[in-house]
Amino acid sequence: MFSLNNKTAVVTGAGSGIGKAVALTLANQGARVFVADLNAENAATAVDEIIKNGGAAEAVVLNVAGQNDVIAAFAKIEKVDILVNCAGISHIGNAENTSEVDFDKVYNVNIKGTYNCLHAAIPFMKKSGGAIINISSIAAKVGLNDRFAYSMSKGAVYAMTLSVAKDYINDNIRCNCISPARVHTPFVDGFIAKTYPGREAEIFEKLSKSQPIGRMGKPDEMAALILYLCSDEASFITGSDFPIDGGFVTLNS
């Protein structure tokens, strides 16, 4: 089950965190993975790890916010069976204190970046079908304090997922998204250290317990769900969002 032999996958934001876990998982199941990331060193490290594990991968240094760069990168890849849009950034702020510069930055990466990759990948997928997984968030469904721009962007990702699923269902292209709650990644550790110096352990425990299950998610857990949605075993699933949140949305009300 869940074999991806002879499949070509593009994973954005694959140099670290959820994206890296996804790239490793898809490669372990037989896919040839293009590890796309803005950070060349991180992308190369992920590729090395995949190759050491017997997989096939290539690094792609990519700024998803630049459409010309994205189109050029996909033109070199030529064959795309799987696209996983993991690249994204977060932001802290409400409607008053979020600057236009910060709002635009979140828009350019999280929304336009997802659009750019969809725009570039779909023409290739129309030749033989494919699977697209976007990363939305619980922030698209519930109100979170000081996540104005981030919530906006993840709501848009969910809406784009539905639109693509509807428009390309007859091209044998499936498009779904997942909505994680907090996932323990290097980004989370860095955010806590920067924002709450000296209180790292306290804040980590508080954020962990905000999920009813009592902990943050793990990147590998996100990757396992994405693997399923990419596989032929999920061939009847499109236009769906999958919460993976330790009960945050349904059990916190």
pLDDT in tens, 123-172: 999 999 999 999 999 999 999 999 999 999 999 999 999 999 999 999 99
The percentage of the chain sitting over the pLDDT mark of 70, rounded to a whole number, equals: 100
pLDDT at 17 over 90: yes
Q: Which helix (H) or strand (E) holds 12?
A: strand 8-12
Contact 187, 17 (CB under 8 A): yes
CA 30 to centroid of chain Cα atoms: 20
CA distance 247 to 253: 10
28-79 pLDDT tens trace? 999 999 999 999 999 999 999 999 999 999 999 999 999 999 999 999 998 9
CB atoms within 10 A of CB 64: 27
Query: In the chain, which residues fall in CATH 3.40.50.720?
Result: 8-181+220-244
Q: What is the mean pLDDT of residues 227-240?
A: 98
What's the pLDDT score for residue 252?
81
Active site annotation includes 228: no
What's the pLDDT score for residue 253?
61
Q: Which helix (H) or strand (E) holds 125?
A: helix 113-128
Q: How confident is the model at residue 195 (pLDDT cuts 50, 70, 90)?
A: confident
What's the pLDDT score for residue 186?
87
Read off the tokens for 169.
């269902």
Q: What is the mean pLDDT of residues 114-127?
A: 98
- Reduced to 3 states (helix: H, G, I; strand: E, B; else coil), residue 143 is coil
**Residues forming beta bridges with residue 180, ordered by sequence position:** 244
> What is the dotted CATH code of the domain comprising 8-181+220-244?
3.40.50.720
Task: Give the chain's mean pLDDT.
Answer: 96
